[in-house]
Structure 1
Amino acid sequence: MGILSNTVSICQFRVAGDFPAGDLFQWASQRLAGNGFKSIDQGTAELSVGWVHLDDHRQSDFAAPGAFWRDHYLVFTLRRDQRRLPAALVKAYQQVAEHEYLAENPGLSRVPKQKKEDMKEAVRSMLLAKTLPVPSTWDAVWDTRTGLVTFASLSPAIIELFEGQFKKTFEGLRLVAVHPYARAEQVVTEALKPALAQANQAGSDAALDLIRSNQWLGWDFFLWVMFRTMHDTSEYRITCGGHGEMNEPFAAYVNDRLVLLSSGENGQQKITVAGPQDHFSEVRTALQNGKRITEATLYLEKEEHTWRVTLKGELFHFASLKAPAVRLEKDDSVDEHSEKEAVFFERMFVLEQGLQLFDSLYSIFLELRLGSGWEEESTRIGKWLAESDAL
């Protein structure tokens, strides 16, 4: 699913490094074009990776502004074409080639090792020439105003591919994942930054250490939202900047699906609780037994609009993020390119508004979690969980 789809899975990064001096458009145009996708349809190459246009995955020329420039956004798509040969198919053709060779050389009982390797390469080349590469694409949006990059994939392998291609393309820059602790640094108030730093359980600034050592952020956040879903109005106010006005009301709650995990002598144990929740009794029992919520379906509502997302607690990845549908009035006087741009801007508006609501919810949680009110709130949550014993 691409970034323009009504439902999309995304992760975010912050761009680190020094931007080059001079014209940003000219620099980005040259760097994207220099690392643009090159077709392998007519050859036997197994893999090709490069950038293409968001609106046309056949195009990799970034000379015109309309190809990738949208106001303060840079938009581009990572394309990977790959030929895959089933091992069983290669083996079958290899056996045929070996039988033919032995038939032509009756004095031999087996194919020499080097000859066998040459045959294998010849078989692979022959099969590759008959196999069309399979294309895959993943969209990226770089907000040069905030320095955030939104990428439409949650696959670890694809994220690694994207990070490597980005670093190769934009020399001197790199991507830093916006994980729970990094997002906390973005949304927490200046007054609470010392408390956040003190609560940081990582021993270094390495992203992997910050993620693994601060899983408590996701655990406590899910627990708090679930408790608030049951005991409060689930109404909040916007506290982070964005398209919505500060202090505007919105609602947030968890429902439908929660995933819990625990680690013990027998390895990890995982349970999934699906379906609309009444009292979260099954989840509360699992929490009492030492499990932690690691994933949940979160709803965000503002006026008549609803955002639904499966939030991954360890990394704060947004899976199956369904935003309000983008609907534009048809106008025959508007050309196709302008219409596509209008769809893009409207789509980014609803996506960013949903993320603004999430950041506000996270900020409100951190205000409580890092402040003096957490002890009282934690006691209330503990009493509520204890009620599960009587259910």
Structure 2
Amino acid sequence: MDLVDLIDEKRFLGQEFLTWLWFKSEERGGTIFLPEAGEDIQLVFEKHMMLEYGEGENREKLICRGLMTELQEARTGLAMGKKLEQARMLLTRGEYEWNLSFKATLMEFRNVKPPKTMGSSEEGNEPEAVEGRLLEHLSLHEMVVRTMDQLFRMFLDLRIGSGWEQELGRICSWVRKGKETH
């Protein structure tokens, strides 16, 4: 099996993760507790989602755009068997806030807008100032990646554990509830 076939065969895992993240973000009004870090983060899905349906060459995409309340179309798509493939989200951890898109199949970040920081407004071009801004930028990128890794670890522990059937039932109820309000 070549890499492309392997990615295609395992794409469901990233899609399930992204769907679970959306569910978890709405379960507590945008707040998710990270046990590993011992803190809450804010995760809000917004404005843009892409769903896929079909297989292989017959795969088609459905793009849902609009305000959060208008993303009911995406929930209806889930109820019809479409898979969440990409979403735009706002992630807040501590005093930092990122806007980003996340693509499920390859678990990749797209269009990451880092938080505004004190270093962002510095005008100095001295080597120390440039190095400081670069290190701060790298640290913030590492923080958002680490946060998504912690969320994925939470998902995997649940997905392979005995609690998955119960969680899946809650997700299905959430999807049905969204379909009914559309």
Query: What are the residue-to-residue correspondences of 1:27-106 with 2, within 5 Å?
Result: none
Distance 2:161 2:56 in 1: 35
Q: Which amino acid aligns with 2:23?
A: F
Structure of greater relative contact order (alpha carbons < 8 Å, 6+ residues apart): 2
Instruction: Give the Å deviation of 1:354.
Output: 1.2
Cα deviation per residue 1:305-324 (whole Å; 9 max; x = unaligned)? Answer: 21111111111221110111
Distance 1:277 1:330 in 2: 35
Cα deviation per residue 1:63-85 (whole Å; 9 max; x = unaligned)? Answer: xxxxxxxxxxxxxxxxxxxxxxx
Give yes or no for the alignment of 1:379 onto 2:169: yes
Instruction: Give the Å deviation of 1:237.
Output: 1.7
Give yes or no for the alignment of 1:249 onto 2:45: no
Give yes or no for the alignment of 1:300 onto 2:91: yes
Contact 1:326–1:347 under 8 Å retained in 2: no
Contact 1:294–1:313 under 8 Å retained in 2: yes
Q: Percent of pairs identical after alignment?
A: 26
Residue in structure 2 matched with residue 269 of structure 1 by the alignment: 60
SS in 1 for 2:41: strand
Scaled by the length of structure 1, the TM-score of the pair is 0.42
Residue in structure 2 matched with residue 235 of structure 1 by the alignment: 32
Query: What are the residue-to-residue correspondences of 1:345-384 with 2, within 5 Å?
Result: 345-384=135-174
Aligned length: 179
Instruction: Give the Å deviation of 1:276.
Output: 2.1
Indicate which of 59, 66, 69 corresponds to 1:278.
69
Q: Which amino acid aligns with 1:292?
A: K
Instruction: Give the Å deviation of 1:209.
Output: 3.9
SS in 2 for 1:338: helix
Residue in structure 2 matched with residue 290 of structure 1 by the alignment: 81
Change (3 A) 1:379 1:339: same
Scaled by the length of structure 2, the TM-score of the pair is 0.85
Residue segments in structure 1 that go unaligned for 5+ positions in a row:
1-203, 240-245
Residue in structure 1 matched with residue 20 of structure 2 by the alignment: 224
Instruction: Give the Å deviation of 1:376.
Output: 0.5
Instruction: Give the Å deviation of 1:375.
Output: 0.3
Distance 2:34 2:180 in 1: 34
Larger helix fraction of residues: 2
Instruction: Give the Å deviation of 1:250.
Output: 1.7
Cα deviation per residue 1:53-104 (whole Å; 9 max; x = unaligned)? Answer: xxxxxxxxxxxxxxxxxxxxxxxxxxxxxxxxxxxxxxxxxxxxxxxxxxxx
Change (3 A) 1:236 1:300: same
Instruction: Give the Å deviation of 1:258.
Output: 0.5
Give yes or no for the alignment of 1:320 onto 2:101: no
Change (3 A) 1:279 1:385: farther
Q: Which amino acid aligns with 1:222?
A: L
Instruction: Give the Å deviation of 1:330.
Output: 5.3
Instruction: Give the Å deviation of 1:385.
Output: 2.2
Distance 2:43 2:7 in 1: 24
Residue segments in structure 2 that go unaligned for 5+ positions in a row:
none
SS in 2 for 1:213: helix
SS in 2 for 1:261: strand
SS in 2 for 1:230: helix
SS in 2 for 1:215: helix
Query: What are the residue-to-residue correspondences of 1:94-243 with 2, within 5 Å?
Result: 207-233=3-29, 234-237=31-34, 239=36
Q: Which amino acid aligns with 1:354?
A: V
Alpha-carbon RMSD across the aligned residues, in angstroms, is 2.6
Distance 2:88 2:123 in 1: 37
Distance 1:378 1:238 in 2: 20
Distance 2:57 2:7 in 1: 24
Contact 1:258–1:296 under 8 Å retained in 2: yes
